[in-house]
Amino acid sequence: MKRLHRLLRILLVVTRYRLDTFVPREHLPLWARILLALGPWTLMPAPKRPRGERLRCALIELGPIYVKFGQILSTRLDLLPEDLATELARLQDDVPPFDPAEAERIISRSLKRPANEVFARFDREPLASASVAQVHSARLHSGEEVVIKIVRPGIARVIEKDIALMLWVARGIERYWEEGPRLHPVEVVQDYHHTLLDELDMQREAANTSQIRRNFENSDLIYLPKVYWDYTRPQMMVMERIHGIPISDVKTLRARGVDMKVLAERGVEIFFTQVFRDSFFHADMHPGNIFVDASIPERPRYIAIDCGIVGTLNDEDQSYLARNLLAFFKRDYRRVAELHIESGWVPETTRVQEFEAAIRTVCEPIFEKPLKDISFGYFLLRLFQTARRFNMEVQPQLVLLQKTLLNIEGLGRQLYPELDLWQTAHPFLERWMRERIAPRGLLENMREHLPEWLHSTPEVPQALWEALNQVRRLDSLNRETRTAVAVLAEQQTRQRLQQKRLWQATALLALAGWLLTGPALPVVLPAETPWLVALTGGWLLFRPERKHD
């Protein structure tokens, strides 16, 4: 009933803002065009407001999951018309705020003291308001300027309702659509659910912020604010207040003389550094979460906030991803096909030659363009469409990475339309692979695992002794097994011989009986013949059994 209620509410919002007018009907199958033409939304006149504003308001009304979707779309100027992208950019930090009195109640409940006692100054007017949380500025009694990020009250219930509906739809897709099992829709929704729940935990976000801050502690690429742990709780986080230019304010960045090419390329470098060096990356890098320190215009530094969503990759995924990208750069389609099979992303029964030919068909027309004109998002879309024919399964652990990479590309091209993502990433990946297999990289790996090996060293003799005993027991068991098999074989041979003698004896005794009771013997046979035959049969039947018969 709850799912049905939520579905009806979504249909009501779609109808109110006439979102059906956004769908390109000419590309839809006939049944979908008929559904759109006969739907209840056709009874409502289209609002007179601009379409971008209608879409933004609809996403806000639908809730945080849909606002997140709009935030992602807002960075893709290559996929959206300018009016839609501009309007959706307002979703980054222009969501209606909740009551400041409620914010004060959450602070007092979390810290067991009134907000005006905890802070020397608390600004009731929100500094920013987003889909999941709201930010207020304040000052500590020690004098530091800080910001307080507070989770929206009741947001968890809204998310649970939306996720329940999405899971219901995902299970239907997995059960009734032949492509469903390959796409793992339920697993993808569950991963997204965990991601959103993590984002609601301010202590987890604070820990993520501290980790990325430590990873780039001595770097001039990116800065993350300091976390004040004494004031951080599950529903609120207090951190250093930073000052920078919003990365979406391109006009101000240009006026300050910022090198936009360097800024865009540094964004790509930050992403690949987090993925391949740290295996811990900020996975929500939309414009509302990124600022720029323009104090050195020729070497601008990023400032990142909102680390509620992070992604990680294991060593195997890192290696396969890097080698796949490098193979694409070199147009080594055979290697790309082999890596997909080796990694298990496509079935091992896939014919390499056919998969290679399909990948080449997709990639060659794209690579004939200048690299700066190639959209990585479009490239991935075409590649996945091709791989689908070979039953490529969706890799849930890579979904977050793909989404983040698309965000980075969209943001980079918003800053510098000539951005060549491939040229920026290629040398980084080659350097990473060289370091990974070079002697220094191997030594670093040994150094990393040496404490674990040394810790296990006292147990090695005992482990060896137990292994040798197991080998001895196995050898003894093998000897016993071989003996038992030999005995069984000998018994079977003896039984076959006994059966053979029984049949021979029976036949001879029957022949003797027939000779004694039947017609007269031929003259060539002596009169004692029947008795000799009977005696032979009796001897076969009752003779003592010999061991080697």
Q: Is 420 designated active site?
A: no
Look at residue 184 in the predicted model and tell me its pLDDT.
67
Please name the residue ranges forming H helices in 368-420: 376-388, 396-415
Look at residue 489 in the predicted model and tell me its pLDDT.
64
Q: How far is it, in rounded angstroms, from Cα 116 to Cα 107?
A: 10
Task: Show the tokens assigned to 322.
Answer: 């890097």
Q: Which helix (H) or strand (E) holds 34?
A: helix 30-38
Look at residue 441 in the predicted model and tell me its pLDDT.
46
Give the strand order in the sheet containing 301-304. 222-223, 301-304, 290-293, 245-246
pTM of model > 0.75: no
Q: How far is it, in rounded angstroms, from Cα 37 to Cα 39?
A: 6
CB atoms within 10 A of CB 313: 19
> Would you say 393 and 184 are in contact if contact means Cβ atoms under 8 Å apart?
yes
Task: Show the tokens assigned to 453.
Answer: 């090996």
Contacts of 500 (CB under 8 A, 6+ apart): none
Helices and strands (H and E) in the chain: how many? 22, 11
Q: How far is it, in rounded angstroms, from Cα 206 to Cα 306?
A: 9
Cα–Cα nearest to 95, from 59, 125, 122:
59
Which one of the listed residues 20, 93, 162, 284 is annotated catalytic?
Answer: 284
Which residues of the chain register pLDDT less than 70?
1-6, 23-29, 31-32, 69, 71-80, 92-94, 176-184, 188, 192, 366-385, 387-388, 392-400, 421-422, 436-496, 498-501, 503-505, 508-512, 514-528, 531, 533, 537, 539-549
